[in-house]
Amino acid sequence: MANKEIDQATKSLPNLTLTPPLFISSTITYRGLQIPSSWEETANSIAYDSCTCPPPIVLICGPGNCGKSAFSRVLLDALFKRYKKVGYLDTDVGQPEFTPSGCVSLQIIEKETPDFTVLCLKTPEKCLFFGDICAKSNAKDYVFYIFNLYNYFIKKYYKFEDLGESNNPSVPLIVNTSGWIKGFGLDVLVDILRYMSPTHVVKVKCSSARKNLPCGAFWMLGGQKSNAEIIEICAAQNNAHSIPKRKEARTMRDLRFIAYFRQCLPKDLGIPNYSELKRHLADIPPFEISLSKTNVTYLLCQDSSEMTYHSWIGTIVGIGISSSVPSSASISAPWCVGLGIVSSIDVQRDKIYLVTPIPLHIVKKVDTLFQGSIEIPDCLIIAGNRDNRVLSSKDEAVSKKHGN
């Protein structure tokens, strides 16, 4: 979208709801998190002031580190007071709310989370592995991934084509977006807004005007009006008990990966420190999948011919099943069924050794791996294989087959 179109669109401010006062210091403690006192009222107004059929589709947008994810959780709670299920489409590949980083996912959530300060991972309804923490690396596929997840939600949970499903209640949707809203990032957000046509757009605004989104329905062409209700709310304050600061982003990403791969170990296993976690993960007999029958897709590499087996070792990969592909012509990548760490490769035995919390019955169907540029936390490096290398025919296999 050109800057001229945005300027034209911001001249009229249709359906604008401003939560006064915009920048306030008063906060409340909500499920362990300090939030602006107006957020709960705003979330309740969206949940109760909108009609039940169709339920609201709410897109939350704004600059980075302003509290979009935190507000989405408050809104999630408010919608649970009225609906049994709530859809949550997370487009933030850097700091997702319920999955490890590098993924675009759709959650269908059926119960509230009691404490917002506790890391909460959920198994998504559908997921696509983007392979990076920044959407800038491949904006085209990023947008296609979001559209495919949205299409899946609309078809299965919102608009029923099969008359036999007409008795199923439609499900509301929260769309959580990233803080990439300047330059080409604004164009991407405009494309998403135009494609989805949400019922509500919540714009989180910080005290620095230059960091905020344009006013009004900035995604509409000049002279056109949006049917969406536009709500502006103040950003959360940055303090020790509110929204994580930018410098903590890397730590939060690492913690999500650690929590994800911790699922490979028994829940009751005591792990006092990261060294012990690394040791226990290294002792796990990894799953085996066929090297020759597995298609490896290099998501962010322009010349895959330069990649070698050695480049796979010790990396976090997306795991897919080729028969499970979104019903769209825009992408051919299958749904991601989970993540794994490639612990080793035995070329002669035609084996890839993979550490993953995915159940065995699903691993048996795996025939696709996605390699991106996700940086693995130090405590997960070489997990599953002490030697961390490609094995030759004379090497002793480092693992036994899972389940045998």
The values of phi and psi at residue 210, to 5°, are -70, -20
Bond prior to 359 in cis (omega within 30° of 0): no
- Beta bridge partners of residue 176, listed in sequence order: 60, 90
404 residues of the chain, pLDDT tens digit each: 444 433 343 333 334 444 433 444 488 888 878 888 899 999 999 998 866 678 999 999 999 989 999 999 999 999 999 999 999 999 999 999 999 999 999 999 998 877 777 788 999 999 999 999 999 999 999 999 999 999 999 999 998 655 455 567 899 999 999 999 999 999 999 999 999 999 999 999 998 889 999 999 999 987 688 899 999 999 986 544 445 555 588 889 999 999 999 999 999 999 999 889 989 988 889 999 999 999 998 887 655 555 677 788 889 999 999 988 877 656 678 999 999 999 999 999 999 999 999 999 999 999 999 999 998 998 888 544 444 444 443 333 333 334 43
The values of phi and psi at residue 391, to 5°, are -90, 145
Would you call 40 exposed, middle or buried from its count of C-beta atoms within 10 A (0-12, 13-18, 19+)? middle
The whole-model pTM stands at 0.85
Inter-residue contact 198 to 59 (CB < 8 Å): yes
> What pLDDT is attached to residue 228?
93
> What pLDDT is attached to residue 231?
96
DSSP sequence for 113-142:
-S-TTS------SEEEE--SS-GGGGHHHH
CA distance 35 to 304: 46
Using alpha carbons only, give the angle 47, 51, 54 rounded to the nearest 5 degrees: 105
CA distance 61 to 58: 10
Residue type, 28: I
Report the candidate in 273, 233, 206 with the shortest Cα–Cα distance to residue 71.
233
Would you call 2 exposed, middle or buried from its count of C-beta atoms within 10 A (0-12, 13-18, 19+)? exposed
DSSP 3-state of 6: helix
**Could you give all domains of the chain from N- to C-terminal order, each with its CATH number?**
3-244 (3.40.50.300), 285-391 (2.40.30.330)
The token pair at 360 is 């065995």
> What pLDDT is attached to residue 169?
85
